[in-house]
């Protein structure tokens, strides 16, 4: 490597995202509802990045050379690794990464091979080959070193299996909230052009910049700098013409693929023999929705920069070629994005957030209906961050989860909507006991967020909480999943009451044990689907899914975050169990015994 390239790489590595240093037991918050906390953490991280990346710049001699800079960076890197080692030891993590970032993945990878040899052997026939192709789509948990073998025996994906051979990739578009560029860079050939979508700085402005040779980082616009670019996906283009679409719950950072459980859906899409003509009516298929996502994420100028500079022959010459140049006919899942911003009017509202989920459920023929013929729907919402919940928002979301349009109730008085009881929702989040008894104990709970001010709120729905336990074993889950199942109709609840004009006072301020939903029976009618499942980046929060206002004629959906996931039907109980990342039925919290894991109450995180 010549001095110029070495210098360029060193600068890029020095400026990598310090908000998520790859091996520190640092809290990486995706608690989207805590905007004040988020902005404060982000500012501290940026300040730390500048302090480390540009330390003593004003005192350097004017004639400093690349070799001198590299020597200084080597010393700074040594100091940083020593700090990481101390932090990991203080938090109870084993010290396994003592090499600089450029070598860290090789050590980590070999460690996984040796510790997970039995799991590799058990799934080698179906998944371990880097040349495996999934034309029909596949959903699997990410392999985890702490659950080998998995209790449920499910096959897994490793990042190397998701990416395939380095030599076969011609171009990639990646997206991640928490991010270690130096870590993920090692999985790609240095000559491969990459666009990486990441979290904006505190200004919230859309930007693009080169961060490594052939790597361009782009950030989307966030109003007032508020919210998260929380999407986690990959578009991997191969030299054979094949495109692999990956929707993930894992950030591009090492511990998401090692210490906590995540999940990945992927599908391979073939190149068309001839491009399709432009079709302005194609607004709701998977490819067109993905195109809208890429435009919203500010990918277009990054793509144009690659094309105008060193990579004029990229397989993707325009974002709008995604639909026309690849054959998406076998992709059956529905893509559900949340695009940050204010969306007004039904044509725009149904393209994003929980109203997009509503449209997808309708398109799959899974609408529950209204009145006496309606099906009951119970949703189980597994995630790593807890939101601020009102009965109005919970009913708003549940109404969309049923495939019903909010125009039926938006014109009703807000005071009436605020008095509705909570709908049939199970909030699945790890209890304190579950975190303490997990394989990493409390130090492993740094990506799970619930605050005391939420839990202790007078009207917080504590009675809806259920414990989160992985089907793999004693590992904590970063997986975001919603399972909706149709139930035999029992009692009229929530917006059914509203639909009949019988709103009741919310009982959310009561911790009294009520009849559990554990004995609900899944309804099966003429081999019809028994429900649906969602997997993606959305936590069960208003910031992720959006909040409706306005009128039935002119609705307004405000969304704080960028999120992305898929939704698909569940045909039977067997498929439901194979898909679920958590043990079902989830155990309901016991009043007086259980409470959620809260970092603020842990001595491990009080520094």
Q: Which residues are annotated as a binding site for substrate?
A: 232, 480
Is 342 in contact with 558 (CB distance < 8 Å)?
yes
Binding residues: 232, 480
Is 137 in contact with 333 (CB distance < 8 Å)?
yes
Mapped onto helix, strand or coil, the DSSP state of residue 266 is strand
DSSP string, 58-76: GGS-TT--HHHHHHHHHHH
**Which helix (H) or strand (E) covers residue 143, if one does?**
none
- The token pair at 5 is 């390239």
Q: Give the residue among 430, 342, 480, 555 at the shortest CA–CA distance from 30.
A: 480
The CA distance from 451 to 429, in Å, is: 12
Neighbours of 126 (CB within 10 A): 11
Phi, psi of 536 (to 5 degrees): 170, -150
Q: Is the peptide bond before 134 cis (omega within 30 degrees of 0)?
A: no
Q: Give the residue among 581, 368, 602, 576 at the shortest CA–CA distance from 487.
A: 368
The CA distance from 257 to 289, in Å, is: 27
Phi, psi of 366 (to 5 degrees): -110, 20
Measure Cα distances from 369 to 258, 362, 411 in Å. 43, 10, 19
The residue with tokens 């679920």 is 580
Q: Which residues contact 481 (CB under 8 A, 6 or more apart)?
A: 249, 263, 381, 382, 383, 533, 534, 535, 580, 581, 582
Measure Cα distances from 65 to 60, 68, 239 in Å. 10, 5, 39
Is 262 in contact with 480 (CB distance < 8 Å)?
no
Alpha helices per DSSP H over 206-365: 286-296, 299-308, 321-325, 346-349, 353-363
- The token pair at 69 is 């800079």
Q: Which residues contact 108 (CB under 8 A, 6 or more apart)?
A: 96, 97, 254, 258
Mapped onto helix, strand or coil, the DSSP state of residue 395 is helix
Going across the sheet that includes 341-344, the strands are 341-344, 555-559, 547-550
The CA distance from 72 to 66, in Å, is: 10
The residue with tokens 């940083």 is 80
Catalytic residues, which ones? Answer: 230, 478
The CA distance from 56 to 15, in Å, is: 15
Measure Cα distances from 22 to 25, 183, 184, 251, 258 in Å. 9, 7, 10, 11, 11
């Amino acid at each position: 490597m010549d001095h110029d390239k070495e210098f360029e790489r060193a600068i890029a590595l020095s400026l990598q995202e310090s908000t998520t240093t790859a091996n520190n037991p640092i809290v990486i918050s995706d608690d989207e509802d805590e905007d004040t906390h988020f902005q404060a953490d982000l500012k501290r991280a940026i300040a730390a990045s500048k302090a480390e990346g540009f330390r003593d710049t004003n005192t350097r001699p004017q004639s400093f050379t690349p070799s001198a800079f590299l020597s200084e960076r080597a010393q700074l890197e040594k100091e940083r690794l020593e700090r990481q080692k101390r932090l990991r030891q203080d938090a109870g993590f084993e010290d396994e990464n003592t090499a600089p970032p450029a070598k860290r993945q090789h050590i980590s990878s070999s460690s996984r091979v040796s510790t997970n040899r039995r799991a590799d052997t058990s799934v080698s026939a179906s998944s371990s080959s880097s040349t495996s192709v999934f034309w029909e789509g596949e959903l699997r948990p990410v392999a985890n070193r702490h659950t080998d073998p998995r209790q449920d025996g499910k096959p897994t994906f490793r990042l190397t299996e998701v990416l395939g051979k380095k030599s076969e990739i011609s171009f990639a578009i990646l997206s991640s909230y928490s991010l270690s560029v130096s870590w993920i860079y090692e999985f790609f050939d240095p000559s491969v052009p990459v666009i990486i979508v990441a979290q904006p700085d505190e200004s919230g402005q859309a930007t693009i910049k080169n961060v490594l040779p052939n790597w361009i980082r782009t950030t989307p616009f966030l109003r007032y700098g508020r919210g998260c670019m929380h999407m986690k996906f990959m578009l991997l283009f191969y030299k054979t013409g094949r495109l692999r679409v990956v929707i993930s719950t894992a950030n591009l950072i090492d511990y998401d693929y090692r210490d906590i459980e995540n999940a990945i859906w992927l599908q391979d899409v073939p190149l068309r023999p001839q491009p399709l003509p432009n079709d302005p009516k194609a607004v709701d298929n998977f490819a067109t929705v993905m195109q809208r996502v890429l435009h919203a994420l500010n990918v277009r100028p990054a793509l144009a920069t690659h094309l105008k500079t060193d990579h004029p022959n990229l397989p993707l010459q325009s974002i709008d070629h995604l639909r026309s140049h690849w054959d998406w006919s076998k992709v059956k899942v529905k893509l559900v994005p949340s695009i940050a911003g204010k969306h007004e009017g039904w044509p725009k509202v149904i393209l994003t957030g929980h109203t997009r989920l509503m449209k997808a459920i309708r398109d799959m023929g899974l609408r529950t209906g209204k009145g006496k013929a309606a099906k009951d729907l119970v949703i189980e919402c597994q995630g790593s961050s807890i939101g601020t919940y009102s009965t109005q928002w919970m009913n708003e979301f549940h109404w969309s989860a049923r495939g019903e349009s909010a125009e039926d109730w938006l014109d009703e008085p807000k005071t009436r909507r605020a008095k509705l009881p909570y709908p049939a929702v199970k909030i699945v989040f790890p209890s304190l006991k579950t975190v303490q008894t997990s394989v990493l104990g409390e130090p492993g709970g740094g990506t799970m967020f619930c605050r005391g001010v939420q839990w202790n709120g007078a009207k917080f729905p504590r009675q809806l909480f259920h414990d989160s336990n992985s089907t793999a074993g004693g590992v904590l889950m970063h997986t975001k999943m919603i399972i909706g199942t149709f139930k035999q109709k029992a009692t009229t609840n929530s917006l059914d009451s509203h639909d009949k004009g019988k709103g009741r006072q919310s009982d959310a301020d009561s911790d009294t044990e009520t009849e559990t939903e554990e004995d609900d029976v899944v309804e099966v009618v003429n081999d019809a689907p028994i429900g649906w499942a969602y997997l993606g980046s959305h936590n069960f929060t208003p910031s992720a899914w959006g909040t409706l206002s306005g009128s039935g004629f002119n609705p307004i959906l405000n969304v704080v975050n960028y999120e992305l996931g898929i939704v698909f039907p569940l045909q039977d109980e067997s498929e439901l169990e194979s898909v679920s990342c958590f043990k079902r039925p989830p155990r309901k919290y016991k009043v007086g015994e259980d409470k959620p894991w809260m970092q603020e109450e842990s001595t491990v995180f009080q520094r």
